[in-house]
Amino acid sequence: MMLHISEVLTAAQVTGIRKAIDTAEWVDGKATVGAQGAKVKRNRQLSELSPTGLKVGQTILQALASHPLFVSAALPTRYMPPLFNRYEGGEHYGFHIDGSVRGIPGSNLSLRTDLSCTLFLSEPEDYDGGELIVADTYGEHEVKLPAGDMILYPASSVHKVEPVTRGARISSFFWVQSMVADDGKRSLLFELDQNIQKLRTKLGDTEEVIGLTGHYHNLLRQWAIV
């Protein structure tokens, strides 16, 4: 399931993050990929342990923790600290797939990469190219969102970033480990939860709505790993 999550950050938060990271030290993006990814990756990013990146990354995680649509879709249990990348002057990232397990920088913990997140920090009109292309069984999906918006998609998807031919594409990217590892089950829970919320708005907490809520939590109880 791919999901566009609007307004994760306010305009003021985007401006603050950009002000902080634009003057930070950017390094070759190949530093965080294996041999396969290094062959097709041409960009720059902040170091995984960049103090600036770690600080503004907390702003992103705090915003997501209070975003009901994200919580409903991701059912998060562990996060990779947000990273930041920059594409300009023809830089790109060819088709690749994210590693299934990643170590969390600065700790002895690891994370199963169930979901990939790309949070846009540049407005679409500020650069040409740079579309995120996600391929799945339904074809290729092109994503280029307003600053402050995020795309959430299964980390099992093959994806790429098209060359940026004008301006600069700045974004944050990171991974989430979900309580429910299976994307199909997670999608069913998300759809059920969203429909329950709509019914509650229309009908209130009727007997039927309470019953459906019980089914949701019983399924989550059966499938969740915490």
Domain 183-223 is found in CATH 4.10.860: yes
* Whole-number pLDDT of residue 33: 75
C-alpha 191/C-alpha 85 separation (Å) is 32
Long-range CB contact pairs, 21-24, < 8 A, 24+: 21/46, 21/52, 21/53, 21/56, 21/84, 21/121, 21/170, 22/170, 24/50, 24/52, 24/53
Residue 192 pLDDT more than 80? yes
pTM: 0.95
C-alpha 176/C-alpha 174 separation (Å) is 7
Give the CA-trace dihedral at 27, 23, 6, 221, to 10 degrees.
Answer: 50
Express each pLDDT in 104-155 by its tens digit.
Answer: 998 999 999 999 999 999 999 999 999 999 999 889 999 999 999 999 999 9
> What residue segments make up the domains of the chain, in order of their start?
3-178, 183-223
Q: Is 39 exposed, middle or buried (0-12, 13-18, 19+ CB in 10 A)?
A: exposed
Q: What average pLDDT does range 192-197 have in this prediction?
A: 98
Residue type, 4: H
Residue among 201, 153, 157, 145 nearest 8 (CA): 145
Residue type, 202: K
The residues near 63 (Cβ < 8 Å, ≥ 6 apart) are 8, 9, 13
Express each pLDDT in 61-117 by its tens digit.
Answer: 999 999 999 999 999 999 999 999 999 999 999 999 999 999 999 899 999 999 999
C-alpha 100/C-alpha 211 separation (Å) is 36
Superfamily name with CATH number, domain 3-178: q2cbj1_9rhob like domain (2.60.120.620)
